[in-house]
Amino acid sequence: LVCSPAAAFPALEIEVAGGVSGRDSVQSIAPTRAGRVGLDLFDRVTVSMRGMSLSPVSAPTQVWGFLADAHVHTRGRFQVNGGLGVGFALATFSSGDRALDVNLSGVRPFLLADVGVRLALGHFFIGLNAGGWPWTPMWMGTLSFGVRFFGD
């Protein structure tokens, strides 16, 4: 059994991302923002908590996703990754009339599968990912920036 220092001490990853998400038509495209904090275990698997917005900030309907996710990735400067996140989505619906200001919320299960690439630049990285919701016609694409602490 060989134990490297990187395998003995996981790296902490913090990432912010922005991009677009949509449904089956071009008219449904909305900005997507996300943040992720995770631990890279054995320099191959990253387990994370992720929060993301799937609607414009000013929209009457706000949709947020909160996920526990795991990504498997290659080692090295240029990395290929694939992951699966499981959690819940929260939607808040506003009446749009300030005088009656009625807000309703709904929660439902949320599953996200994605694949991507990233370029490691020392302790920093830049990534591109595309993914979707397996049981709905929704998709997303993001550009991410992150930093790794500890570990390697």
Per-residue pLDDT of the chain (152 residues), as tens digits, is 445 554 568 999 999 999 998 877 666 788 899 999 999 998 899 999 999 987 766 677 778 889 999 999 999 999 999 999 999 988 776 655 555 555 667 788 889 999 999 999 999 999 999 998 877 778 899 999 999 998 76
Residue 117 pLDDT: 98
CA–CA separation, 31 vs 21, rounded Å? Answer: 6
Q: Which amino acid is at 52?
A: M
pTM of this structure: 0.82
Helices (H), ranges, the chain: 5-8
Residue 2 pLDDT: 47
Extract the tokens encoding 78.
Answer: 């240029």
CB 34 within 8 A of CB 23: no
CB 128 within 8 A of CB 15: no
